[in-house]
Structure 1
Amino acid sequence: RQHGVSASSIYNWFKLTDGVERADWLPALAPRHVGRTTTTECSPEAWEFIKSAYLRLERPTWESCYDLLVLVAREKGWTVPSSRTLRRRLETDIPPAVVVLTRQGVEAVKRMFPALERDRSVFHALEAVNMDGHRWDVFVRWPDGEVCRPNMVAIQDLYSGMFLSWRVDKSENREAVRLTIGDMVEEYGIPDHMYLDNGRGFASKWITGGTPTRYRFKVRDDEPSGLLTQLGVEVHWTTPYSGQSKPIERAFKDFCERIATHPAFHGAWTGNSVANKPENCGSRAVPLDEFLRIVGQGIALHNAKPGRRTRTAAGRSLLETFETSYAEAPIRKATAEQKRLWLLAAEEVTCRAPDGAIHLMDNRFWDEALHRFIGQKVVVRFDPQALHDGVHVYRRDGAYVGFVECQHAVGFNDVAAAQEQARRRRRWMRATKEAAALERTLQPDELAALLPEFEKAEPPETKIARPIFDGSAAVKVMPERDEDEDPFMRSFSAGVVNLFEKR
């Protein structure tokens, strides 16, 4: 009584421990309640109906589904228990993951499976990076007057989480991707690995051409090598919209909360969904220069914020974490030839006959080195803002051919230009003739003198003679007479000939 235990309970404990070793008394005394084991009668058709009605993506309430079941059961004569009884049976018999899948969809049930924890401390600074695009929830006015939500392409270091480079454009395109990669390589160096999804801008042949697993667009064996391929970067394709595969998407969420809602963007913020659309949405568009300034400040603050709790940062900022590892890591730097790969746009063109000239954007480019590629495709890299300065020509495998100047068009009656062109042509012809003279050291008469003389061969003697026919009768061929032939044989042969002629 003092401990609130009845005598019958004590006697029950004695029964449970009777014949049991003292060391096993505790598990023997543990409760064995299994809950209710009896079930109320329910028609199988009613059970199937309530499951099918409730387990739908429209997510109807349980009571609305039960009301429908009652209506149908009256017509069909089914036995239906109470609503709470059926609800308990559903919770007992149907796995929770199945309920989430059928009522909330695939993405919701994916979150019920624990994500793989990736340890980024296996890298050093700039050894591996991830790249992705982000569409800002801010209306921006561009210099041409167009108002739209800009797209940003950014690269994040995987070891530290620091943002290395970024570019903003109206869309996620290969030019923005190329320049973003160039900014990173120019300032920090070349990474060994890059993780990105197969978006149109990233999977372009000019970025990842030659990668064996580029599962977008038509992959050909003779396609030109892309920027990352020529820089020796190993490309890893990830699942789109997967924060576990690309940590940069988690950082983009911080940008939505801290940069997109900046006070300077008042009236230009669109909200991250239709439900979160503010009342003043669209009342203002931020000028592009102001938008880039605020975004640059926000990314710098993101990198410099102390107290990061990642395994590599350990309380430091992303910037400090990167700089500490970067100072001790082996970093690959780009050469002057490699810098042309991202500083210039690229196009694949054909060297036209008969001179091998390249025609690009209504401009013509020519150099003597193009003669070897007449009728073949080459890759030209150029600055779109200074196309008349010339282009750099590469073979399709990435080998550098040379710099080719633009052949400017002149007026039809420009005599000075015609004279200058004639002088250039004469100089080129003279140089070509001199080169030919150096290569051709023997004159034709010297070549003829070196050739051996051959005696005329006797024709072979035939063993079989074919008769000559004139119409339907054969022309008589008189056999040659041998002076030593026997007179009898000569007469016999003449008689045989006469006999055939009479027939």
Structure 2
Amino acid sequence: MSLSDLPEDVRLAWWERELDRLHLEPGARDDAAHTAFMAQPAKARARAERKAAIASMLSALRVQGLKEGERFALVRKRFEDKGTSTASLKRLSKAVEGVDPINYAPALLDDYKVTAKRAEVSDDAWRFFMTMIRDAAPDWPLKEAWQRVRDTGRETGWAVPSYPTFYRRWAELDEAQRLEARLGKADAVKRLSLPAMRDKTSLMALEEVSLDGRTQDFWGRWENGSVSRPVILMLVDVASDTVLDWELAPSENAAATVRLVKRVCKSFGIFDTLYTDNGSAFAGHLVAGGNPHRFRNGAPKGLQPMGICQIMGIKLRFAMPGNAQAKIAERIFATLSRTVDDGPEFKGAHAGHAPGASPNSKVAPVPIETVRAVLAREIGRHNREAGRRSQGARGRSYEAVLRDGLAEREALGRPVRCPTADQLYLAGLIWKPVSVDRYGRVAANGWTYGGPETQEALIRFHGTGRQVLLGRDPDDFSAPAIAYDDAGDLICRDIQPVKRGAYGSADGIRDAARNRKAAREAVKAAAVANDYLDDDAYARATAALYASAEADETPPPKPRKVVGGRFGTPLRERAPKPEMGHELAKVIEEFDRAKGFDPWGVLSGQ
């Protein structure tokens, strides 16, 4: 029995079941037509795609030999009545004649264009609208701006259409125009600037380390009973995203930063470059001292304290102001902040996210030991969590990426440098330029340093106008100090602090006696080192000196004439006197002595 022998309703039911199995060769794709198709509005594309599906079904059924009526009946069952009238289906069939099925949708786009005339808007009205948006806050409602333009237009005669017309014109503006009006030029540029895409796999482990600090959102109680929002400082390896170490402090300060950098260098080795912002804790003398360029404290002038980066040989690179997203540590904070700050351990310890938020009576500060424990747990999990999909991780944990990276550095012959004991010692000191007094001592912050052992090395700087750089232990000012000159050369170590004793105490008397004894020994040694002549040799040298003076018979030069000082008008050359005979000059001289007589007037006939 053939399919055509079946009753029509049975035959149509069979074809309806087979519709999804029909195959129609797509043909060659017209790229230009599809590009124009994708430029059309979404609703126009949806209408064209529905027509294309109907046309594809009609073409596939025609290939199978079905009659027109049967084809149309099956289409109506699948697509219902909308757009499936006999006339509409005939138009569709004719429209796709000679067109490959893959290009049906572009060929069946609506062939009409919107001809509605846009309502007129006065130029001044639109400019007033844009100017108000420019001067208002970024979230100021557009409708409020339109209402003000409408009210103004009643007085000025502007053509002000409806709000939807204004909104459509606003929506048609370029993104740059809208952002510039809403946010201003600087923020618009920042929004539109495409971020640089960097490949972290080109970095070696510890080639670059990111430093940053963040104030936590909760309140903590410190060991001394004070309450504040703790600040976490963090060092992150850029190549592996591993948090190398962290420090919790009451504030973002340089001393805590130095401790953190020192610990990382001691635990992992000296990293190559420190990448940070220009915060005072990171760009001050303790960290960036000696760096040729930094944002804080201006250009280096005079004697510069040594920062930990200079001591360890770490390159220092600053992020541009306002470019926080460039720092890896900032991104780690974003990841950890919600995990830690909003955790159940800190329930009731929040007073708001604003930097100046103050706690009220309902805020219950968390003990700082709890804060440290939670941070240690979450940062450890961040480092050890496997299955990472960041650049170069390939499913490993951040710790594993760091460990493998350090091994690769060793294999390439670029191992991480290990700090020496001297570097670790110097890195823990604070530095201050000081002047040396006439006793070979120096003073800093109420403490005086210097004893007989270091007097000779220091006293040579007294009266020279040169300061020395004094390094002291910030945790123990009573520990010996160290001094460097302005060229960075070591002057002396173990500069002992001077401890003041009570008046009349035996300890003070013994200290004074020891100092006098040391001075006597130093003077005695100096006298030996000076190697003076003995008395006989000195007498012979003196006699030779006098003999050399007697042998010198050169007469002394005549004294030059001394001219008396004149304090009136400046000296001027006098006009030359007329020449005259010797006898005439004597006569004039006699007459000149006479009171009131003018010999020159007589000679001139006056």
| TM-score normalised by length of structure 1 | 0.80
Q: What aligned pairs does 1:344-423 form with structure 2 within 5 A after superposition?
A: 344-352=429-437, 354-366=438-450, 367-368=454-455, 369-375=457-463, 376-401=466-491, 402-423=493-514
- The 8 Å contact of residues 233 and 257 in structure 2, kept in 1 or not, is answered as yes
Counterpart for residue 531 of structure 2: 440
Question: What is the CA distance between 1:457 and its match in structure 2?
Answer: 3.1
Partner Cα separation in structure 1 for residue 586 and residue 353 of structure 2: 119
Superposed CA RMSD in Å reads 3.8
Residue correspondence of structure 1 range 179-328 to structure 2 within 5 A = 179-222=259-302, 223-240=304-321, 242-273=323-354, 282-328=362-408
| Native 8 Å contact 1:160 1:313 kept in 2 | yes
What are the superposed Cα offsets for residues 434-454 of structure 1, whole Å, 9 maximum, x if unpaired?
Answer: 244124354545765786935
One-letter code aligned to 1:406: P
Partner of 1:335: 420
Match of 1:481 in 2: none
Which structure has the higher relative contact order (CA within 8 Å, separation 6+)? 1
2:170 is the alignment partner of 1:99: no
* Aligned with residue 429 of structure 1, among 499, 513, 520: 520
In structure 1, what residue type is equivalent to 2:462? I
Distance 1:101 1:183 in 2: 47
From the CA coordinates, give the structure whose radius of gyration is larger.
Answer: 2
Identity %: 26
SS at match of 2:236: strand
Deviations 1:90-128 (A, max 9, x none): 222x21222133325654762343211122222111111
Q: 1:196 to 1:30 in 2, by over 3 A?
A: farther
Q: Secondary structure at the match of 1:384?
A: coil
**What amino acid is aligned across from residue 379 of structure 1 in structure 2?**
L
Pick closer, same or farther for the CA change 1:64–1:499 going to 2, 3 Å: closer
Distance, in Å, in 1 between the alignment partners of 2:516 and 2:387 is 70
Residues 437, 298 of structure 1: alpha-carbon distance in 2 compared, 3 angstrom cutoff = same
Deviation track 1:289-311 (CA, whole Å, cap 9, x = no partner) reads: 22222212221111111222111
Residues 156 and 162 in structure 1, CA contact (< 8 A), matched pair in contact too:
yes
Contact residue 140 and residue 287 of structure 1 kept, 8 A: yes
Listed as ranges, the matches of 1:112-151 within 5 Å are 112-151=192-231
Work out the CA distance in 2 between the residues paired with 1:54 and 1:383: 58
Relative to structure 1, the CA distance from residue 63 to residue 365 in structure 2 (aligned partners, 3 Å threshold; closer, same or farther) is closer
CA pair 461-314 structure 1, distance change in 2 beyond 3 A:
closer
Q: CA deviation at 1:328?
A: 3.1
Structure 2 Cα separation of the partners of residues 420 and 79 of structure 1: 98
2 CA distance for matches of 1:30 and 1:439? 112
Q: Unaligned 5+ residue runs, structure 2?
A: 1-54, 60-87, 410-414, 562-582, 592-606
Moved more, 200-209 or 386-395: 386-395
User: Does the CA-based 8 Å contact 1:129-1:158 persist in structure 2?
Assistant: yes
SS, match of residue 351 in structure 1: coil
8 Å CA contact 1:225–1:396 kept in 2: the answer is no
Contact 2:447–2:497, Cα closer than 8 Å, also in 1: yes
**C-alpha separation in 2, matches of 1:196 and 1:67:** 48
- How far does residue 497 in structure 1 lie from its aligned partner after superposition? 13
- Whether contact under 8 Å (1:269, 1:282) holds in the other structure is no
Q: What do residues 248-301 of structure 1 show as CA deviations (whole Å, max 9, x unaligned)?
A: 101101221112223222221345359xx9x99953111122222221222111
**Distance of aligned partners of 1:447 and 1:65 in 2 relative to their CA distance in 1, 3 Å threshold:** same
1:18-68 CA-to-partner distances (Å, cap 9, x unmatched) read xxxx9xx99x97979876695432222222233334453253333333333
Instruction: Give the Å deviation of 1:418.
Output: 1.1
The alignment partner of 2:341 has SS state of coil
- Report the Cα distance in structure 2 between the residues aligned to 1:442 and 1:68, rounded to whole angstroms: 105
C-alpha distance in 1, partners of 2:354/2:471? 41
Q: Does 1:453 align with 2:548?
A: yes
Displacement of 1:158 after TM fit?
Answer: 0.9
SS in 2 for 1:79: coil
SS in 1 for 2:363: coil
**Aligned equivalents of 1:49 and 1:420: distance in 2?**
85
Q: Deviations over 1:325-347 (max 9, x none)?
A: 11332101111111122222333
Matched-pair contact (CA < 8 Å) for 2:153–2:160: yes
CA spacing shift, 1:30–1:346, aligned 2, 3 Å: farther
Distance 2:404 2:234 in 1: 22
CA distance in 1, matches of 2:530, 2:422: 32
Deviation readout 1:6-28 (Å, 9 max, x if unpaired): 659968999xx9xxxx9xx99x9
Change (3 A) 1:268 1:379: same
